[in-house]
Chains A and B, each alone.
Chain A
Amino acid sequence: MPADVKPGPTAAAGNFALERGEAVPALIGRHQDFLIVAGLGGTASDVGAVTGDAAHVYSLAGAMGAACMMGLGLALARPDKRVLVVTGDGELLMNVGALATVAVVDPVNLAILCVDNGHYGETGWQKSHTSLGVDLEQIAIGCGIKHTCTVAAARDIAAGARLLREGNGASFVCLRVKPTEPPAFKRNFDASLQRDRFRAALGGTMSPRG
C-alpha cells in the first residue's frame, strides 16, 4: 500500500466490513513498540492473539469504561514509551467523556484504537449505538483530538497504523469490523498478577512503593 494514502471518508454508518482478526494485527504491527491496555471483551482477545500472554499488556475483564483513562494515566507516567489503548465501541460509549479528558491533556504518546463492530458481542450481539448512527471518530474530533481517522476498508489500514505510531499528540483510530467472534485466546484473568508483572517488566518493583 502506498505510504501517502490518507484515511478515507469511508466511515458511512453501517460500513462494518473488515475482518477484525486481520485488521487489528495489521494496525498494531510490532506490538513490542507499545505498552498496551486492552479493554474487556473482544478487544482483550484481539490483543492477546497478537501478543500472547505478555507483560507489556494489561487486559481488562471488568471495570467497563476503564481502558482509555488507564491508558492516559500510563502515558503520563511513562512519557518515554508509546501507549496503545485497544477498546471496543461498547466500552468506549460507556465512558465516552474520557475522549474529552484525553483531548484536553493531549499526551504525545497515547494512541487509542477502537475496534468498532457496532455490537455488544459479549452479551448476545445486541446492536450498539454505532450501528444506529453514532460515529465515534466524529465524537473524538468534537472532543478536540487532533489526529483521528476511521479505518473501514483495507486501503485505510496503512494510514491508521501510521497514526497509532506517529501521532504528535493523542490519536484516535476507529476500526470498523464485521460483527464476528474475536480470535480465540485463553487469557489471564488475574488482575493483580497482571499488575505486578507489568510493573516489574517496566523496571519498577512489584511492591506498592513506586
Chain B
Amino acid sequence: MRRENFSAKPIEDHPARWQDAGIAHLYCLGMDAAVETQSQTGWQHELYDLLRENGITQIAYVPDAGHSILIDRSLADPSVHSIALTTEEEGVALIAGADLGGTRAVLLMQSSGVGNCINMLSLIKGARFPFLTLVSMRGDFGEGNPWQFAMGQATEPVLAAMGVVCLRIERSDEVIPTMNAALTMVFKGAQAVAVLLSQRLIGAKPF
C-alpha cells in the first residue's frame, strides 16, 4: 500500500482503501460506493484545502496509504512542491530550510517514520523552527500487525521528548478544528506540532 498511491486513477476508484466501520456499514446497506467514499474522504480534501489556504507550498512525505489523498492532491497542484522523501528525517530538515527561505512546509508521515526523525528534531528544537507534521497512526486502534505496535505506541512519548506538541484526532468532525489549532500554534506560536490521525479516524489496515 505504498508506491501504488501515485497512480493517476481517481481516488474514488479505491473505496476499499478506507476500511473504517462506518464505510463498511454503508457498503452493507448497498449504498452507492462512490458517493459514500466521497463523503468519508471529504475531510481529507478539506484538510488539503486548509493547508493551502494557510500558505503551505512545500509538501513532503514518505508514501503512505493514510495520506494518499493529500499526496495525490499535492502531485496534481502546480502551486506546490510535492516532495517524496527516502526517509522521514529528510523532511524535518527540508522544513527548516523552507523556513529559512520564508516559506511554509508540512511533513506527512506514518507513525513508524517518527522514529526516523528523532535526532533531526534537535534542529527544530534548537533553532525554534516552526514545524508541522501530520502523522497517520499504526500500532493503534484495531491494529492487526504486531510489528507496528512498538513505534505506534512510542510515537507520542518520543515526540513529546523532543519538544513536539501532539494533537490527536479520533473523529472526522475534529479534523478541521484541530488543524486550525495546529496551524495557529505552529505559524503564529512558533511551536513544533504533530497532528496524529488515529486509526479510529483513518481505519486500520486489514490483515
Contacts and interface: CB of A to CB of B under 8 A. Distances in A.
Nearest to B104: A210
A189 to B, nearest CB: 9
Given A98-B90, A104-B84, A202 B102 contact: yes
A14 interface: no
B140 to A, nearest CB: 27
Q: Which DSSP category, helix, strand, loop or mixed, fits chain B's interface?
A: mixed
B97 A74 contact: yes
A66 B187 contact: no
A54 B125 CA distance: 22
Contacts, number: 133
B174 interface: no
A159 B14 CA distance: 51
Interface range, A side: 35 or more
A123 interface: no
A72 B100 contact: no
Interface string B74-117: 00000001011111011111111111111111000000000000
B187 A77 contact: no
Interface stretch (B5-13, B126-134, B147-155): B126-134
Given A70-B100, A73-B58, A208-B186, A97 B93 contact: no
Closest 5 CB pairs of A and B: A77-B101, A73-B97, A97-B86, A70-B97, A69-B93
Interface of A: 35, 37, 58, 60, 62-78, 95, 97-98, 100-101, 104-105, 191-192, 194-195, 198-199, 202-204, 207-210
26 contacts: A35-B100, A63-B122, A68-B93, A69-B90, A70-B96, A72-B97, A73-B93, A73-B96, A73-B97, A73-B99, A74-B98, A74-B100, A77-B57, A77-B98, A78-B102, A95-B87, A95-B93, A101-B83, A101-B84, A194-B127, A195-B129, A202-B102, A208-B130, A208-B188, A209-B187, A209-B188
B84 A210 contact: no
Contacts of A78: 101-102
Residue in A100, A194, A209, A210 with the greatest tally of chain B CB atoms within 10 Å: A210
